[in-house]
Structure 1
Amino acid sequence: FIDRRIEGLDSNFLSFNYYETISYLLDHLYMKGHRRISLVTGPASFSSETECIRAYNDFHEKKSLNIEEELIHSIRNTKEDAFRLGAAYLQHQKPTALISTSQTILSGLRQAAELTGLIQDNELELISFGQDIWSTRHTASSISSTMRPAHQLGRRAARLLTENLSSPLLFEKKQLILNDKINSREIAFANHKIGEASDKPLRLLLLDSPNARAVIKLQPNFTDKTGIRLEPELCDHLTLLEQIMQDQKEKKYDIYMYDNPWLDLLVREDCLQNLTEFVFTNKMNQQLFLFDLLERVGSVRSSYFGVPFLYGPQLLLYRQDLFADPQLQQQFEKQYLAKLAPPKTWSEFNAIAAFFTRSVNPASPVEFGTSIAAGGQATFIPELMPRLWAYGADIFDRSKQVTVDTPEFRRGLSSFCEIFNSCEPAVLNYNVEQTVADFYNGKTAMLVGFASFIADINNYGQSQIGGRVAYANIPGHRSVLGSWGLGIAKNTKSSAQAQEFLKWACDPTMSTYFAILDGQSPLQNVYSNDELVNHHPWLPLIYKTYDSNRKRSSITSRNGRLIPITQIEQVLYEKIKAQLTGRSNLEQTVKTLQLEIEKLKNN
């Protein structure tokens, strides 16, 4: 074996002396005055990476330095994982030097360090292992690359294998540890000064989401390019619309992030600037965004009031290892007379969820079948609507007549309520992040989740089930349109600066970085990027299913008054929640909903 020791196996083994190399680099950085030195390795299950971590810990003990666990990270050996790690923690932990065991990892860390301004400020030294030989390379990005003689290792391995094959019975297995060739001991770094920032910051009111946190991580790049400082403020989904409405009096924010069903209401209440001229001047057309998404998220009556910032429909995630387990397959087929496979209908979904709920099936390796974000109207309705649509039901028909009191609606609602038997009882208070956490922590077997919240699924630092997850279209193939927009506040005095932010947020290059961090994008270019598809393999699926996503829209009353869809959905939420908590039954819920929504529509 080369570079990866298999414990307990009597075999030939060749590797480099990673322990000595890390020890030397740490000593070199220590003499330069560095005390907050970070180490980023590949998977800790690899013996080479374990040796690096051991050397790091031993060095700190020798120097009587505290070992700060948050400065040691083991990740998948991909550029994208490294970028996401760097963007998440470099600014927060602020190491002064960082050693990476892979040039691939270094590439992602370098991008993160540049975009967060740490390299430009000369605040961070980056060093990585490479290939071929040890040497020092000076770059304009404050990065030194140290390299290993891989060809030498390969030649020694080939020679050892030849000797072993020529005398297989008498040959004694060998353990060869090679020293690195270090040609240069000097490490130098270049400087780059960030442009002066303006005195008045641009204030953003954003949904507390991976997308918004990506903006926060990358905001130094925007300030570097424009000189405009950002002050983002995060708000939960349940109160964001209320905050936007309150701001019409307070006039605190310059930019709002809004859910697409809110647009009609925000325009009616005169909350947003008309961006039609801006959209056409900057060529924000169908070639930039997914087809028709600009209209679906930003347009009201042929005028534009916002631009798409997020497209993340619902996906079915499931534990591939559990679905492929022979014993579980046999048990499921015996019980249901069907194969255990990703569900294509909600009836199948409910059956599989029950099968993986331990209170129903003691043999289940997980505690619950799934989770539901039922804690508030804004998260509850997207869980409900795909089921109703799959059963041919809806709140209104094409002529805007209320169609709740129908057999289709009853079947859809019954299916929805049934699934709560396969969930943690606390889901009645869950938000989206809590459903994702249950799945990441191995508590549930399946999850219907938004693409924008699942980017960490294969992040071994965040997920306990990395590498064991598969994905598919949701049952019924009808996701809600999971898309959010950015609009400029009508009352802002910083319109020009706000427009600069919209251009930056919609730039194809920045969209690539956002996609690495949060797993989605409203821009076309992301879905043809092979590197991103390798990192987020669900991207082709959400692109393919875009046309089947359904938008929830407001309606108008008989006298022409706008009835916000949020008002209608609040009634749905309250009445169905009453049924789930035992305060009504299915028939009472349906009858009450029909009357209440008709009253809203007609008054």
Structure 2
Amino acid sequence: MATIKDIAQLAGVSQGTVSHVLNGKGNVSSEKIKLVQDAAAKLGYIINERAKILRQGKGRILAVVLPNIRFRQYEDFLISFKAFAENQGYTVTPYISNDDPDTERSIFNQIRSSMAAGAAVFSCLHLTAGDIRELGFSEWELLFAERDQPFPCNYIGFDFKAAGKALAAAAVEKKLTSLALLTGSLEFSNEKDFFDAFTAELKRNSSCTLHHIETNLFRRYQSAMQLMDIKKIQEIFSTNHGFARTVRDVYQTFFPAMQTTITTVLPLFTMPENIYHKYELNYRLMGKTAAQHLIENTEGKTTRRRTVLENTGFRQWYKGPSFSRTAAEKLHILTLESPTADAMKTLSRLFTQATGIAVHISIFSYDELHEVISSMGKSSIYDVIRLDSTMLPWFAPRILRPLRDIEPDLDMDEGKYIEGLSRQYFFVEDILYTLPVTPSTQMLFYRRDLFESTVLKRLYQEKYKTPLVPPRNFAEYNRIARFFTAGENPQSPVEFGSTLTLGSTGVAATEFLTRYFSYTDALFDDTGAPLVTGSAGIRAMKDLLEIQAYARIPCSSWWTDAAREFSDGGVAMTILYSNFASGIFGRSSRVINKVGYAVVPGGNPVLGGGALGVSKFSKYPKEALAYITWICDEPMSSARTLLGSVPPCRESFDNYEIIDAYPWLELSKECFSLSNYRRTPSRNNAPFDDRRFLSILGREIKNALAGVITAEEAMQNVADEYKSVARSLLHG
């Protein structure tokens, strides 16, 4: 095995320099860092992590002890636990006990020997505080999950009594006379709590015959076959998704003619499926919260922290009204080209299944969409229209029907939406026209692997005398983009430093506004005149002129193109709206697990995305409103997001199947509260056509980027032309 001495000899440096490089310490030049890394790779050197831990004491290692990995709830827990812990700089080691006491005790010995800082345990043991000490752990080093212990301890779980009561209530409501209940060992607190609550509720409200079977991972198939011997079972209830799945498999394989409903407790399912009647518990949220608490416990040495998470419970995939045969046969939806449009096409089949109303979705580019709605009249076929949030003030009164004219008692609970979500997605002059479907915010995405490269960090430090970190302003952004552009820096591992999206005039204007609002928060003065001729406008224009040299030409024409360009791996940074960011992580992406994300430079992100409203020309306004409230609310909000959209609802951000797939979404939620700007004139009741202003602004930006005019001339042209437009709007 190669040693530090061997590496030093091959690299031609001292052993101290090798030690500094391998441990990320000291002030070593980029040249020597590369020499050491190349030598270590050539010799096949692997850092002895065990030796490092012994030198440091307890390691940044967390253990997770699971009963098995075959049941989805434990897989969900581990995925989220691991994601959160690794993001905090910890390594996670999973262990499988198979609910065997001897195996679990052996695992405790392994965890102690590994010098782990702590462990989350689904324990099959009944322990005491004395047992914990004998096993070699302090109280704060263990967190018991799902299965409680008979002594005060750190614990996280769900309200299993409420789950048992809810499933029994469902049986009572159906007036069942005979049912089967499949549980795990009643020695486990979660199973016992469920069973006691289930049987108590059943006895209190029904004379139903209960057939109870206690099982486990290894006896579940025999238990499922036992059910076949019980006559006249109307429904099967289960405490565990793994047990329910086994019963389903046995029925489908050996008794395909038998049609028995299975109602079960199971982890949260983001995508709809109709195999079971489901009572859901969010095990991914439990995993994330467990990791967070365990880290806080071990670092703060706190004990006896008990957390009972809220049960998700029964959810319906369609909660809207039913319609008679005289209702609409088809709804026509007009929407923008985006990942959300594709998600809506897929999920709208569920609306059709529930209502019998077909859904046809027409997808257009931004400019095409604007053209269609600008010419919309009584002959329009569209029932539901997706409007960009910036279009609402101008178009909503012209082409949309106020939602409360359709349904006066429409429930408008703003508390269910993201905190900081502006009224711009709902109201125009205090009239409710739309519900948010894809509220989005700009974010910075960067190649984390490049920003964390020891060699590149040192090269940047040597060149600019400042550390390589995600840019906080656009001067830093352009400097980093230059560093990562191969034409400027032959040592860059990527070809370009940034994407640049300039397709239409509206898109080009958005690239400008991203920079403009990093310097100021108002686009118009109190008289309604554009402020772009001031210092903020000139600086933003010059930022764009500079970044042109560090981006691929021709530039991306739309945000989907920018996401695709970044995902191809040849660019160091991109600024995207969050509703297009899922394109970074597509099937052919070359940057998965290499992406970092941050607030946009300047800390004042531009908001985007859109909302859905009912066309004032629709013949079926009630059906159209039913579709909007269905697709914009939970659980469809979460289902759309998993398919690449962004959610308007708070609940989606507690769904860690989504957060684990798109971890940047948590930061995007915070960006709504950070956004603080005014992009429309403040004069009351003065007409403002945002799209027309963006067209003027974008055209002049493109002229400046082409070298036809200067930055100053471009901004002056915008101000002059829009004054003329504003006068015509006011008197028109």
Q: Which of residues 472, 482, 507 in structure 1 aligns to 2:598?
A: 472
- For 1:235, give the aligned amino acid: F
**2:702 is the counterpart of 1:577:** yes
Q: Which amino acid letter does the alignment assign opposite residue 260 of structure 1?
A: S
SS in 2 for 1:476: coil
- Contact kept in structure 1, 2:442 and 2:605, CA below 8 Å: yes
Which residue is 2:472 aligned to? 344
Letter in 2 for 1:491: F
- Per the alignment, residue 243 of structure 1 pairs with 372
- Aligned CA distance change for structure 1 residues 185 and 594 (closer, same or farther; 3 Å): closer
Q: 1:383 aligns with which of 488, 511, 515?
A: 511
Letter in 1 for 2:380: K
Partner residue of 1:326 out of 451, 454, 460 = 454
Q: Confirm or deny: 8 A CA contact 2:472 2:602 kept in the other structure.
A: yes
Task: Report the equivalent of 1:396.
Answer: 524
Aligned to 1:431: 558
Alignment map for 1:151-550 (pairs within 5 Å) = 186=254, 188=256, 200-268=329-397, 270-277=398-405, 281-291=409-419, 293=421, 295-392=423-520, 394-427=522-555, 430-459=557-586, 461-550=587-676
Give, as a single letter, the amino acid of the residue that structure 1 aligns with 2:574: L
Question: Relative to structure 1, is the Cα distance of residues 281 and 292 closer, same or farther in structure 2, using a 3 angstrom cutoff?
Answer: farther
Query: Which of 571, 585, 590 is 2:715 aligned to?
Result: 590
Q: How far apart are 1:407 and its partner, in Å?
A: 2.1
- Structure 1, 481-490 or 373-382: larger mean CA deviation: 373-382
- CA offsets, 1:265-289, max 9 Å, x none? 1134x20001135576231221122
Q: Secondary structure at the match of 1:447?
A: strand
SS at structure 1 position matched to 2:643 = helix
Distance 2:655 2:603 in 1: 25
CA-based RMSD of the aligned residues comes to 3.6
Letter in 2 for 1:211: T
CA contact (8 A) 2:332 2:362 kept: yes
**Are 2:604 and 2:677, in contact at CA under 8 Å, matched by a contact in 1?**
no
Unaligned ranges ≥5, structure 2 = 1-43, 45-74, 80-215, 226-234, 261-273, 276-317
SS in 2 for 1:448: strand
State whether residues 404 and 410 of structure 2, in contact with CA within 8 Å, keep that contact through their aligned partners in structure 1. no
In 1, distance between residues paired with 2:723 and 2:552? 34
- Deviation at 1:436? 0.5
The answer to whether the 8 A contact 2:333-2:359 is kept is yes
Distance 1:188 1:381 in 2: 61
1:417 CA drift (Å): 1.9
For the Cα contact (< 8 Å) 2:703–2:709, is it kept in 1? yes
Q: Which amino acid aligns with 2:641?
A: A
1:101-180 paired onto structure 2 within 5 Å:
none
Superposition deviation, residue 146 in structure 1: 12
Q: Does 1:567 align with 2:692?
A: yes
TM-superposed deviation, 1:529: 3.1
Could you give the per-residue CA deviations for residues 44-71 of structure 1, whole angstroms, max 9, x where no partner exists? xxxxxxxxxxxxxxxxxxxxxxxxxxxx
3-state SS of the aligned residue for 1:386?
helix
In the TM superposition, what whole-angstrom CA distance separates every residue of 1:447-479 from its partner, at most 9, and x where no partner exists? 1111111225445x2311111111111111111
Does the 8 Å CA contact 2:485/2:550 hold for their aligned counterparts?
A: yes
Contact 1:554 1:562 (C-alpha < 8 Å) held by counterparts: no
1:355-413 Cα shifts (integer Å, max 9, x gaps): 11111111111111111210012322222112111122753124423322222221121
Matched AA of 1:452: N
% identical aligned pairs: 24
User: What number of residue pairs does the alignment pair up?
Assistant: 441
SS in 1 for 2:571: coil
For the residues of structure 2 that align with 1:543 and 1:400, how far apart are their CA atoms? 31
Change over 3 Å in CA distance of 1:423–1:253 after alignment to 2: same
Task: Give 3-state SS (helix, strand or coil) of 1:360's partner.
Answer: coil
Larger Rg belongs to: 2
Distance 2:590 2:572 in 1: 13
Give, in angstroms, the shift of residue 425 of structure 1: 0.8
SS of residue in 2 equivalent to 1:391: coil
Q: Is the 8 A contact 2:441 2:607 kept in 1?
A: yes
CA distance in structure 1 between the partners assigned to 2:420 and 2:252 by the alignment: 56
Distance 1:469 1:266 in 2: 38
Relative distance call for 1:495 and 1:573 in structure 2 (3 A) is same
The structure-2 alpha-carbon separation of the partners of 1:425 and 1:544, relative to structure 1 and needing over 3 Å to count, comes to: same
* 3-state SS of 1:234 partner: strand
Using the alignment, how far apart are the partners of 1:477 and 1:445 within structure 2?
20
Are the structure 2 counterparts of residues 557 and 517 from structure 1 closer, same or farther at C-alpha, using a change threshold of 3 Å? same
- Decide which moves more: 547-556 or 583-592: 547-556
The verdict on how the C-alpha distance between 1:550 and 1:262 changes in structure 2, with shifts beyond 3 A counting, is farther
Deviations along 1:485-527, one digit per CA (max 9) or x if unpaired, are 1010101101111011012112211111112122521112222
Write the letter of the residue equivalent to 1:422: Y
Look up the SS of the partner of 1:203 in the other structure: strand
Contact 1:254–1:494 under 8 Å retained in 2: yes
Q: Is the 8 A contact 1:388 1:394 kept in 2?
A: no
Check conservation: 1:394, 1:404, Cα contact below 8 A.
no
- Give yes or no for contact 1:344–1:476 (8 Å, CA) kept in 2: yes
1:536, CA displacement in angstroms? 2.2
Which amino acid in structure 1 is aligned with residue 691 of structure 2? T
Structure 2: distance between partners of 1:277 and 1:572:
37
Aligned mates of 2:378, 2:594 — CA distance in 1: 50
SS in 2 for 1:287: helix
After TM superposition, the score normalised by the length of structure 1 is 0.66
8 Å Cα contact 2:526-2:681 kept in structure 1: no
SS at match of 2:611: strand
Distance 1:355 1:292, change over 3 A: closer
- CA distance in 2 between counterparts of 1:187 and 1:552 reads 65
Partner of 1:123: none
CA distance in 1, matches of 2:242, 2:400: 49
CA 1:513 to 1:367, structure 2 compared with 1: closer, same or farther past 3 Å?
same
Contact 1:310-1:521 at 8 Å conserved across structures: yes
How many angstroms apart in 1 are the aligned matches of 2:459 and 2:529?
46
The answer to whether the 8 Å contact 1:272/1:489 transfers is yes
Shift in CA distance, 245/384, structure 1 to aligned 2, threshold 3 Å: same
